[in-house]
């Protein structure tokens, strides 16, 4: 029998921002702060310049996000997810393993988030 490709029913903007925009902004802020402090100027010049240095920060941030979403996918799929301690968590709600259908209901779910983040990390590795 043919297996259908899962389709999302809604886009979760907060998770999409946490996968795409926030790691990029954090990497640029960290890289710019390090370069502005002057402590990495000489090693940066030896290592390929400012762009290569910033790409390393971007790659590091996206690798971290990719691994976090990958572990989140495992936790959500097998244990019902882990409470993040955010205001979004429903207080006192009992968590149960996600069904196959509910796991794919939102975009990006944790698997999508991990794929996006690791894809950007590979792109940075290719460019740098």
What local confidence, expressed as pLDDT, does residue 105 receive? 78
pLDDT at 1 over 50: no
Cα separation, 58 vs 52, whole angstroms? 10
pLDDT at 9 over 90: no
- Each residue's pLDDT tens digit, 18-65: 889 989 898 888 877 877 776 655 565 566 777 777 888 889 899 999
Q: Tell me how far CA of residue 91 lies from CA of 79, 86, 95, 105, in angstroms.
A: 17, 10, 11, 22
- Each residue's pLDDT tens digit, 86-100: 445 555 555 565 566
Using alpha carbons, select from 82, 31, 32 the residue that is nearest to residue 61. 31
Q: Where does the chain show beta strands of DSSP type E?
A: 10-11, 106-107
pLDDT at 75 over 50: yes
What local confidence, expressed as pLDDT, does residue 4 receive? 55
Domain boundaries, the chain: 12-80+103-127
What local confidence, expressed as pLDDT, does residue 81 receive? 61
Q: How large a percentage of the chain has pLDDT more than 70?
A: 69
Average pLDDT on 108-128 reads 88
**pLDDT category, 122, cuts 50, 70, 90?**
very high
Q: Tell me how far CA of residue 49 lies from CA of 23, 44, 53, 108, 121, in angstroms.
A: 21, 5, 6, 34, 19
């Amino acid at each position: 029998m043919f297996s259908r490709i899962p389709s999302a029913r809604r886009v979760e903007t907060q998770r999409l921002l946490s996968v795409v925009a926030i790691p990029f902004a954090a990497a640029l802020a960290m890289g710019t702060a390090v370069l502005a402090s002057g402590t990495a100027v000489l090693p940066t010049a030896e290592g390929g310049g400012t762009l290569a240095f910033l790409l390393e920060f971007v790659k590091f941030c996206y690798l971290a996000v990719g691994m976090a979403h990958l572990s989140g996918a495992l936790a959500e799929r097998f244990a019902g997810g882990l409470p993040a301690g955010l205001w979004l968590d429903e207080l006192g709600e009992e968590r149960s393993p996600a069904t196959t259908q509910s796991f794919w209901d939102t975009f990006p779910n944790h698997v999508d988030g991990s794929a996006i983040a690791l894809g950007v990390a590979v792109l940075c590795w290719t460019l740098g």
